[in-house]
Chain A
Amino acid sequence: MTIPSDCSILGKEVPVSDIEIELKKLWEADDASTHASLMNFAVYSEDASALACNSSMVREITREHACRAILVGIDLDDPEVGMRSWITAHCNLANGKKAVCCEQIAFHLAGKVVGRYRNSIFAHLQSDLPLVFWWQGELTDRFDDRLYTLIARLIIDSAEWAEPRAQYRLLERALLQDGLVVQDLSWTRTYRVRLAIASLFDDHAGQAALPKIEKVNIVVHPDNLQSGLQLLAWMSTQCEWAFANDMLTSDRAPHSFSFQSKGGKFIEAQIVTDENSLAINEVTLSGDDFEAKVSLGENDNLIHLVFDIQGIHVEESTPAESIEPQDLVRDQLSRGGKNSLFKKVFPRYIELMDRS
């Protein structure tokens, strides 16, 4: 079996059968620390070399979210079937006083181990605590209903997928019928932008402009096209814009769509991908006499809001947040909830993908 590189970060290697005994010893050896856990947090990757990196990310996440972390890395191509495990604890100072520690179990699975990873995880879950499952990379046939029925919250990142539409097909039933809470990090990336857009339409001037929207332009990095589609799906769902079938698909520029508002106004929307752009670079909503723009500052980590209407010019800024995966996961776990807005927007997002 191939040994994962840099496994020292994973802690002490222990026999799989002794994991719980070794964890107990770990806690008994340290009276000064408090052991805390609010959930089981599993991080699954079919890239076995991701274990070390995931361990570092979990260390960051446990600063805010006490959990029992279970890391799984699978090397399916390894001809030798085998399984190794490590335990460690991530300790952080709470309020600068007490060390609060979260335990981590890491598994490296090699060879054709379909089914075995599931048992490895479920055997080490803490009872009564929810299971949050971060599936990294493409969903494979190892993601099935036997797995997701045990998950309280599934974290995925559609930005990592080569074929998002096909991938979401695997999730559709779980999400819409079986009530699985799915949190797509592409959607989380749009959160601050959505807040910023919403804030532009809070006051009278903004609200007066809402029915006048004629054009939506979203600029994203090509890797973040899904975030762009989800943003547009959100806007069109919330404003109750219907698709306008006034153009054949072949006539349209890539990722451009026509909508019609309830008031009968036509809205042209386009998502522009730009290699030089930041993840979600800019969103502009405009009409005859107004333009509302939300853009990410390149160097200042701020979202800039500009609103021009009938000679009134307003400029403001609001903090942008990190879009690193561990920060997005941390953010998402803080908000909790059933992700009902994403569920509401999801059918339109699927339609946009189909029409894109």
Chain B
Amino acid sequence: MLPAAMSNPFREDLVSRSRAEACSVVIFGATGDLTHRKLVPALYNLAVDGELPHGVKIIGFARREKSDDVFRSGLEELNQKVSRTGHDPALWNEYKENVYYHQSEFHDIDGYKRLAERLDAIDESRGGAGNRLFYIASAPEFFDVILENLKAVGLNNSAEGCWARVIVEKPFGTDLATAQHLNSVVNNTFEEKDTYRIDHYLGKETAQNIMVLRFANSIFEPLWNRKYIEQIQITCAENLGMEGGRGGYYDKAGALRDMVQNHLLQLLSLVAMEPPTDLSADGVRDEKVKVIRSLRQLNTPELIKQNVVRAQYTAGHIDANKVPGYREEDRVDPESMTEAYVALRMHVDTWRWSGVPFYLRVGKRLPKKATEISIHFKSPPSVLFNAIPGAASGGNVLVIRIQPDEGISLRVMSKLPGTTLRMEPVKMDFHYATSFGKGSPEAYERLLLDAMAGDATLFARRDEVEEAWRYVDHIERAWHDSDHTPEMAEFVAGSWGPKEADDLLEQDGNSWRRL
């Protein structure tokens, strides 16, 4: 065997990021939508950009009978539609030679033995042992058996000087108990340092920019605390409903599990975290998990009633099209008690954030698609301008737009031109697309590259996931297991949510930011 991995001096200083290493990527659930729409196009885009390490092989593992060629044709068909960089037939022909299909049932141990032989043969053709990246993109009920079988055939172990890593897609459990179980199965198979729990929100350019905005600009961080900030709002609005059969999954999960437990709490932790001691994966994640741990627990039905609103939409109109109510949607139980909208008032009980409410809202069939974080600064003392008739009041608002139209804006007060002193808010706006003509890489591109480089900064750690579930579980239990189940509010599809959610903020003298 050839010697263990050494450093490659030609790589040094060539790109300013951790170096992704060549590996075999095995995707479980390879016939699914995620593989076709996101994962394979992401790897293709990386190849087009010259970022994919030489020698990366992709092995799709799934149950359906298929040849390599049929698998490749299916991938090509979708790549033509979705690839960010466009589809270049010459490059695809090169790329597809590294894509293979491996047919096996997830519970069939022989399938994994054959996979191990196949991976060994690929490594042998490259002159020795190789790295392996297992991507579990299957339905969640197969996570356990896949991990157990990988271990049974020894694929969780790497040869000397190589690595074996696993990426696990969401949902990472359905509550704390299942997440803990899954974590124990994962950690019985792979070490925590080799486990990458993906949350694609963290791969988004604007999510990564939160830390840069906070810690690389001296004007914001001194103000980033209870003394100057009045409230923080995080909104994730979807105008879509349950199209494309997604009602089947969604009606079991609901907005709280589907979005709040992972994406929104990740965004909240980036906004509220203390400066990390360094930019290492654990340096950043240590600070993020402290935020989740510091969330004031909503552990009684009364607290949940006071701080959480859940709702379903009724039939309405979006973009002038009539849309059904939640319970009339495809694959949704007509008597469903699953929330398609949730609004929360949260508190982070730390020195920095004491007394500052964090309002989160997420929902389907809202007027438009938008995810953003808004930081509402306290108003200045109005001793100077409050006597002026018609003077608009209000503090500064810093908005971080995550998607679409990624960017940052800052609302400031300004004097209106004229001979009298009149003030109005004006907006200073930065748009990624306008300022940087070159499109950002897709979140999955960045995250796949990071996993190949062994950089887990943008992946959730075990304790982060479990702490988030601990918080969410109290609410889920109150909704579904308590004797005093809070009511399910309603709102008309195409509106900005139920009145109860507006009331939640009104109690504090606040209101939702108009998007």
Contacts and interface: CB of A to CB of B under 8 A. Distances in A.
A192 interface: yes
Contacts, number: 125
Interface string A303-325: 00100011010101111000000
B454 to A, nearest CB: 14
B128 interface: yes
Interface stretch (B10-18, B221-229, B369-377): B10-18
A215 interface: no
B508 interface: no
26 contacts: A64-B436, A94-B431, A95-B433, A192-B50, A199-B53, A199-B54, A202-B21, A203-B54, A204-B127, A204-B161, A205-B128, A207-B2, A207-B5, A207-B6, A207-B8, A235-B10, A238-B9, A312-B125, A312-B127, A314-B55, A314-B126, A316-B55, A319-B88, A319-B91, A337-B16, A341-B14
A200 B94 CA distance: 16
Given A200-B54, A202-B21, A309-B127, A240 B9 contact: yes
B130 interface: yes
Contact of B48 (A98, A204, A319): A319
Interface string B425-450: 00000010111111000000000000
Interface string A168-199: 00000000000000000000000010111111
Given A207-B6, A340-B13, A63 B90 contact: no
Interface of B: 2-6, 8-14, 16, 19, 21-22, 47-48, 50, 53-55, 88, 90-91, 94, 125-130, 161, 431, 433-438
Nearest to B3: A208
- Of A94, A235, A309, most B-chain CB atoms within 10 Å: A94
A302 interface: yes
Interface residues of A, number: 50
Contacts of A251: none
A119 interface: no
Given A203-B22, A204-B2, A341-B14, A198 B8 contact: yes
A281 interface: no
A27 interface: no
A228 B22 CA distance: 28
A128 to B, nearest CB: 13
B442 to A, nearest CB: 15
Contact of B50 (A195, A203, A309): A195
A159 B88 CA distance: 31
A63 B439 CA distance: 11
Interface string A332-356: 0010010011001000000000000
B438 A64 contact: yes
Contacts of B50: 192, 195-196, 318-319
Given A196-B54, A341-B14, 4 more contacts: A62-B437, A195-B50, A203-B127, A203-B128
A201 B9 CA distance: 9
A195 B436 contact: no
A210 B6 contact: yes
Given A192-B50, A314-B55, A203 B126 contact: yes
A260 B88 CA distance: 43
B433 A205 contact: no
A210 B2 contact: no
A81 interface: no
Nearest to A200: B54
A63 B438 CA distance: 8
Interface string A268-297: 000000000000000000000000000000
